[in-house]
Structures are given as C-alpha cells and as structure tokens.
Amino acid sequence: MQELLRVKNLSVHVAHRGRPVSLIDDISFRIKKGSMFAMFGESGCGKTTLALALTKLFSNGNNFSIQGKININGSDILELSDEKLLSLRRDHIRYVFQDPVQSFNPVMKINKQIYHALNLKTKSDRRRETPKIREFLSKSGIENPDEVLRSYPHQLSVGMLQRILIVMAIFPAPALLIADEPTSSVDAALRYRILDFLDEMRRTLGMSILLITHDLEVVRRYADEVAVMYAGRLVEVAPREKFFDEPYHPYAQLLMEHFFKPGNIDADALQSLTGTVPSPLDTPQGCTFQNRCYKVQSDCKIEEPPLTEVNPERFVRCPYWK
C-alpha cells in the first residue's frame, strides 16, 4: 500500500513565561493511502496538538514553533506558503473536531454553512451539488436531509450536527481526514453508526483517516494501524492485529488491562488508571512514563529511550518491553 503522509521528528513548543515548553516531542509515523490510522491515549497526551500541528492550525500561531518534517504526497507541509497551506486544508486535508456545536454559526442555516464550507459561491454550483449533499446526509443516517438543510443549528441534535460536519469534511473527497474524537458527544449506538459511515466513506472515496480516540474498542473495530501516545511522545506503533495480540510498551499494556477489565465501560476505563499524565510544565527527566511503570529501572530516570523498530512494523519506546 502506498504512503500518503510521513511525519518525521515532529516537535511542537509553545512560549510560556519567556521560555519554550515542549508539547509534543520527536514524533515519527506514516499513514498509508486508504488506511485508518488510530492515535490512542489519555487526555493530556498531546493528540489534539499533534492533529493541529499537521497543518499548522493553531489559533495563535506566533506562540508556537514547529520543527521536523510533515510530507504529504512528497510535499513538506511546513515549507508551504500561507496560500498553498490554505488550499491544502480546503481540498486535501480536512478536520472533524469533537465539539460540533462550537463548529457552527448559530444564526446561519445549515445549507448556507455547507455551501460556504465547500466554496460553492454561485447558484448554479449550489444547484449542481445539492443532490449529492442530500445523498451524503442520507448515507450518514439523516432521514430528512431537506428539512435539515433548512434548519438552524439549535434546532438539531448534537449527533445530527456531528454527522453534518463529517459530510462537510468528506464531500470534497480529501486525501486525509483528521477525525479528533468525532463521536465523543454521542451515545454508544450512534457512535458506531457514525464510525460505520466514516469507514464506508473511507473505502468508497479512497481517503485515509487519522482517528484520534480514547476508546480502545473503536480502535479494535476500525483501525488498520495503532499509535499509542503518552505525554507528547509516541510510545508504541503497530498493526492493529499485532497490537491487540500483544501490546509491548508498559503503558499500552496498562491501557489494555484497564480498558477491557470486567465492569469498565468505554472511556470510564481510563478514569480508573492510577496516576496522571505529567504536565508539559513538569515533565520528568528520562522516560516520561517512569512514575507509573512497573518495569522502571534506574537508567529510565536518566535518559528517555528512542522509539525503536523492534520487529517488522512494530515500534516501541522502551528497552525493557520484552
């Protein structure tokens, strides 16, 4: 399978009280064309920061510095002009964020917001594309697309708004869809309906998806590859089947143990973990996971291990994974 995106040695720092603070550090991974790549970890691990960094989508870009390389189809995103970067976001890399209510203008009808997002400026453009928009809304599980298009956001449920956002994101058939917790605001039944729709569109349109989630069951159902993130670093990357057969990194093992423990339900499993992810302002020297790790050794507190390929297509940031 061909490679779509390659991220190499990506780091992001933010200015805080006159000094740079590391938010993500030395991130490297690749996403293949047409694949579902899942990024998993607790809140505060840097998953959303990573997603925003991929297209420099920070609200206050002057406070952030990005180093490394982000190549999509051979072009380095970090080297693009502002104009080309806007074009990339519009046509090739699209986002779905976790809070759909905040993504809509409350005083504008849904159809106008879709037309604006899809850059449909003329009446003829809108007439030509509206039947396809209706079709995509129907495929997403919306039974009354014409009524929805005439509605204001406050007249629709959160789940419906999320499906509309997904349609707006995939309609241009982007090369890569970045979905950041796209079902966090809906119930379990709707969650899998939305993800089934996303997966169907991935296969139909041939796009790749970077899925950011805290739900290991979602990863197990949909992902082709899994990356586990902790304190701004990737600690394990593996094909889905191999990962669920045997996670290597102690953090991945801990997540698996707690998530699938009898009695735990979905994201509630992560709330039962002992300890917390260290703040970027107080990251320990050495391995960032040392304070929660059952395999910790004296040298873990001195130097952080690199992410190393220990088996074909299996990467782990721990010398004591065996």
pLDDT digits (tens, 9 = 90+) for 246-270: 999 999 999 998 888 765 555 455 5
Asked if 72 and 176 count as a contact pair (C-beta separation under 8 A), the reply is yes
SS3 249: coil
One-character DSSP codes across 166-210: HHHHHTT--SEEEEESTTTTS-HHHHHHHHHHHHHHHHHHT-EEE
Domains and CATH numbers, the chain: 3-92+176-194+206-316 (3.40.50.300), 101-173 (no CATH)
What is the average pLDDT across 101-120? Answer: 92
Asked if 88 and 77 count as a contact pair (C-beta separation under 8 A), the reply is yes
- Closest of 171, 151, 174, 146 to residue 161, by C-alpha: 151
Residue 128's pLDDT is 94
Residue 258's pLDDT is 84
User: What's the whole-number average pLDDT of the chain?
Assistant: 91
**């992410």: which residue's tokens?**
307
Q: Is the pLDDT of residue 238 over 80?
A: yes
Q: Which of 20-34, 116-130, 132-146, 266-280 has the lowest mean pLDDT?
A: 266-280
Residue 154's pLDDT is 95
Asked if 166 and 182 count as a contact pair (C-beta separation under 8 A), the reply is yes
For 127, residues 6+ apart whose C-beta sits below 8 A from its C-beta are none
